[in-house]
Amino acid sequence: MNDPALPPTPLSPEIAAAVEAALTRDRLRLMEIGYYIAGVLTIVGVSFLLIHFTLFLCLGLNPHIFEHTTGSNGRQAAPPPPGLFLILAGAVGFIILFGWTFGALQIYAGRCIKHRCHRLLILIVAGVECIFIPWGTFLGVCTFLVLERPTAKTLFERS
């Protein structure tokens, strides 16, 4: 038992380095899991926009749907401009593709953390991850803090 009146005994440098390396490996494992979860949630979340994409595409390809609509005063309402729904479908499709790509990059960053490779790619994904407040910011900042440690740099240089 340690006596509270006595100062703690210092660890030898070898033991301190081993403890620090073990803590860094544990933190990297948690970040790996975090990136896998974030990637899957990004892909699933963006996939809900497929409903809007399909709706806009169907309305853009079938403009005759608006031919017999009447306004609140009983007169025939003006149809929306031609191509409006196709532009909206294109915008939503771009957002979906960007979200799927970023989700795949998040999953790949988790894999790179596991294999201790592509440190720069992980840092770039962590920087983009910081946009997504609050969880993405937390994951991105933790990634920067862990990967800038000397023990983490050593782990990535070895492999």
Region 62-73 average pLDDT: 73
% of the chain surpassing 90 pLDDT: 68
Question: Would residue 44 count as lying in a domain?
Answer: yes
CA distance 36 to 30: 10
Residues paired with 76 in a beta bridge: 70
Evaluate if residue 20 carries a pLDDT over 80: yes
Q: How confident is the model at residue 48 (pLDDT cuts 50, 70, 90)?
A: very high
Mean pLDDT, all residues of the chain = 90
Burial of 92 (0-12, 13-18, 19+ CB in 10 A): buried
Question: Would residue 42 count as lying in a domain?
Answer: yes
Q: Which residues lie below 8 Å from residue 28, measured CB to CB, with a gap of 6+?
A: 113, 116, 146, 152, 155
Question: Would residue 113 count as lying in a domain?
Answer: yes
pLDDT of residue 69: 65
Q: Which domain holds residue 113?
A: 15-67+80-158
pLDDT, tens digit (0-9, with 9 covering 90-100), for 140-154:
999 999 999 999 999
Question: Would residue 127 count as lying in a domain?
Answer: yes
pLDDT, tens digit (0-9, with 9 covering 90-100), for 102-131:
999 999 999 999 999 999 999 999 999 999
Contact 7, 60 (CB under 8 A): no
Selected residue with higher pLDDT from 36 and 61: 36
Tokens found for residue 66:
């608006």
Region 19-47 average pLDDT: 95
Burial of 110 (0-12, 13-18, 19+ CB in 10 A): buried
Question: Would residue 6 count as lying in a domain?
Answer: no
Q: Strand ranges (DSSP E) for 30-117?
A: none
Question: Would residue 40 count as lying in a domain?
Answer: yes
Question: Would residue 120 count as lying in a domain?
Answer: yes
Q: How many domains does the chain have?
A: 1
Question: Would residue 8 count as lying in a domain?
Answer: no
pLDDT of residue 70: 67
CA distance 28 to 151: 11
pLDDT of residue 63: 79
Burial of 59 (0-12, 13-18, 19+ CB in 10 A): middle
